[in-house]
DNA sequence: GTTTCCCGCCATCCC
DNA sequence: GGGATGGCGGGAAAC
């Protein structure tokens, strides 16, 4: 879809709608992968949303989703309307470190054990947006007081960016290594939320998980016992040493991309079982990576290296400028991510190995 | 039947 | 006022 504005921008809307339509090819994860491969070059400093949308052949709305998540982990930073600065993967460790510190700080203030998850996402009270209580004001330094600012706060509290950060904090601020989205939603929301709110939150978490998965900061997996789908944190420490509960997910897919997923069966029973653990304890239980704890980000590098470079393949939104697979000019290639070996990790799920191999 | 998550409406923000 | 931003949830593909 050579960056064609309209038509290409709606790859599916009409064209693919018929027979060949496949949601897998339009996943946020795949789109994110393409986005990254498109901009993760040396010469790239700023990114225009319109440009990205047209080059990737998607509507702007999708770009916002990706950009919000990427910004949350430091890869991008907003420069101006429609413009973002490309910080690269090298900015991730620092961003994670900041998040960790912030999360720990927040935790301290709150009784640690239990929901540190609610770190700043106290949106739980959500629904009552009009709620004047500043309690839920996110950590973000947002003014508050005026009704408009309250609205803004509320909006921000529910933003994909903040949710992403809180989701990440769930992992880096604790020993939790693996968690299901249901659990994550519960932790982030707190109890007592109706199913509707929960469902919405989980939907957003899926979006986030897809993007983070495509960056290999997390990976989809599931527990052996319940087989309930869950996400495992890879980002910082990469390989988890002991993962008793994990099933060797051979065909892990970077979520979103495609491969839509794993094939485990999910049964109600299972899910309920998994959900059994609630906040406090669960957290601890889920934990797999215990130890190694603190050090964190720094190590990321090594582990990341371990990750295999997998294949890559553009979906419907193959970046127009990016040459077909394997043809990227070497310089971009060059430092896929300063974020050390994230490069190797980065973007596995597609099928052409060649593409990623060249980065190694 | 359930899970996953794309899609685009539309509220809100911002210039 | 209008374009930019992004929350939200319907609904369909995937499982």
- pLDDT tens, position by position, A78-136: 888 888 888 888 889 989 988 888 888 776 665 444 444 444 444 444 333 333 333 33
Burial of A14 (0-12, 13-18, 19+ CB in 10 A): exposed
Residue A320 has φ and ψ, to the nearest 5°, of -60, -35
Q: Both tokens of residue A342? A: 């994230």
At A40-69, the pLDDT tens digits run 888 888 888 888 888 888 888 889 889 989
Is the C-beta atom of A60 closer than 7 angstroms to strand C? Answer: yes
**Nucleotide of closest approach to A129 (CA, C1'):** C7
Average pLDDT over residues A253-275: 33
**How far, in Å, is the CA of A124 from the C1' of nucleotide B11?**
20
* CB distance A157 to A65 below 8 Å: no
β-strand partners of A46: A85
Model confidence at A21, in pLDDT bands (50, 70, 90)?
Answer: low
Question: How do the domains of chain A map onto residue ranges?
Answer: 1-360
Is the C-beta atom of A153 closer than 7 angstroms to strand C? Answer: no
Q: Both tokens of residue A16? A: 């693919």
Average pLDDT over residues A224-230: 67
Model pLDDT, residue A183: 83
pLDDT above 90 coverage of chain A, percent: 2
Q: Please provide the distance, in angstroms rounded to a whole number, between the alpha carbons at the two ends of chain A.
A: 28
Is the C-beta atom of A23 closer than 7 angstroms to strand B? Answer: yes
What's the rounded Cα separation, in Å, for the pair A248 and A245? Answer: 9
**How far, in Å, is the CA of A155 from the C1' of nucleotide C13?**
30
Q: Which residue has the higher pLDDT, A301 or A149?
A: A149
Q: Both tokens of residue A37? A: 């491969």
**Nucleotide of closest approach to A255 (CA, C1'):** B4
Model confidence at A178, in pLDDT bands (50, 70, 90)?
Answer: confident
What's the rounded Cα separation, in Å, for the pair A316 and A112? Answer: 45
Is the C-beta atom of A16 closer than 7 angstroms to strand C? Answer: no
pLDDT at A334 over 80: no
Average pLDDT over residues A216-237: 74
**How far, in Å, is the CA of A127 from the C1' of nucleotide B11?**
15
**How far, in Å, is the CA of A246 from the C1' of nucleotide C5?**
39
Q: Which residue has the higher pLDDT, A358 or A202?
A: A202
DSSP assignment of A81-109: TTEEEE--GGGHHHHHHHHHHHHHHHHHH
What's the rounded Cα separation, in Å, for the pair A356 and A214? Answer: 13
Model confidence at A213, in pLDDT bands (50, 70, 90)?
Answer: confident
């Amino acid at each position: 879809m050579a960056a064609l504005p309209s038509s290409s921008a709606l790859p599916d809307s009409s064209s693919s709608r018929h027979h060949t339509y496949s949601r897998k090819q339009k996943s946020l994860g795949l789109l994110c992968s393409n986005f990254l491969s498109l901009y993760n070059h040396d010469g790239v400093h700023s990114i225009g949303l319109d440009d990205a949308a047209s080059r990737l052949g998607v509507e702007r709305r999708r770009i916002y989703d990706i950009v919000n998540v990427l910004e949350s982990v430091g890869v991008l930073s907003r420069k101006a309307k429609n413009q973002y600065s490309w910080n690269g993967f090298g900015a991730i460790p620092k961003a994670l470190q900041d998040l960790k510190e912030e999360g720990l700080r927040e935790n301290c203030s709150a009784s640690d054990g239990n929901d540190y998850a609610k770190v700043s996402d106290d949106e739980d009270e959500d629904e009552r947006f009009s709620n004047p209580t500043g309690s839920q004001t996110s950590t973000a330094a947002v003014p508050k007081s005026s009704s408009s600012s309250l609205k803004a706060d509320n909006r921000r509290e529910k933003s994909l960016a903040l949710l992403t950060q809180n989701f990440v904090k769930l992992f880096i601020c604790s020993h939790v290594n693996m968690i299901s989205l249901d659990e994550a939603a519960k932790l982030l929301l707190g109890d007592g939320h109706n199913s509707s709110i929960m469902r919405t939150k989980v939907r957003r978490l899926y979006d986030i998980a897809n993007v983070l998965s495509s960056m290999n900061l997390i990976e989809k997996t599931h527990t052996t016992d319940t087989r309930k789908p869950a996400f495992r944190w890879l980002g910082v420490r990469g390989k988890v040493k002991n993962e008793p509960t994990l099933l060797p997910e051979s065909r892990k897919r970077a979520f979103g991309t495609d491969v839509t997923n794993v094939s485990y069966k999910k049964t109600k029973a299972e899910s309920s079982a998994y959900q059994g653990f609630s906040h406090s304890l669960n957290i601890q239980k889920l934990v797999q990576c215990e130890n190694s704890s603190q050090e964190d980000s720094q190590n990321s590098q090594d582990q990341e290296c371990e990750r295999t470079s997998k294949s890559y393949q553009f979906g419907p939104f193959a970046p127009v400028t990016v040459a077909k697979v394997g043809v990227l000019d070497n310089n971009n290639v060059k430092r896929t991510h300063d974020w050390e070996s994230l490069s190797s990790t980065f973007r596995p799920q597609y099928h052409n190995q060649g593409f990623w191999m060249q980065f190694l």
